[in-house]
Amino acid sequence: GAVVSQHPSRVICKSGTSVKIECRSLDFQATTMFWYRQFPKQSLMLMATSNEGSKATYEQGVEKDKFLINHASLTLSTLTVTSAHPEDSSFYICSASPPGQGSINEQFFGPGTRLTVL
């Protein structure tokens, strides 16, 4: 159980276009979803936290107008990279956290999406 999927797994786009990445919790309802970015040989950096039905909370330094996050249902969150540029090329990872686990809410991670902007 507790499977999180991401689609697509890889995407290549031209500079200036927008790309949407989907994150789905397949067998549980996720009240909270997280979006991370991972640079080569570096750690995962939290970009934003989204709660179903409300606006996402972005980490300091993350442009909310560039990285649009929508958490419209308890099983789906989307990250849209708008007007993508080569510096947005990265590995994007989502995680989902089910409700009711007390103070330590385990996060279940998707396999990641490799974005390459040409």
Partner 1 sequence: GDSVTQMEGPVTLSEEAFLTINCTYTATGYPSLFWYVQYPGEGLQLLLKATKADDKGSNKGFEATYRKETTSFHLEKGSVQVSDSAVYFCALSDRLWGAQKLVFGQGTRLTINP
Handedness of CA 43, 112, 18, 31 (dihedral sign): negative
Is the Cβ of residue 10 or residue 85 nearer to partner 1 in the bound state?
10
**Stretch of 14-22, 67-75, 81-89, 109-117 lying at the interface with partner 1 (CB under 8 A):** 109-117
Choose one: 14-22, 40-48, 63-71, 74-82; the region binding partner 1 (CB under 8 A): 40-48
In angstroms, the CA 45 to CA 36 distance is: 5
Question: Is residue 29 a contact point for partner 1 (CB under 8 A)?
Answer: no
Q: CA geometry: angle at 41 spanning 36 and 44, to 5°?
A: 15
Residue 44 binding partner 1, by CB under 8 A: yes
The two tokens of residue 56 are 């996402």
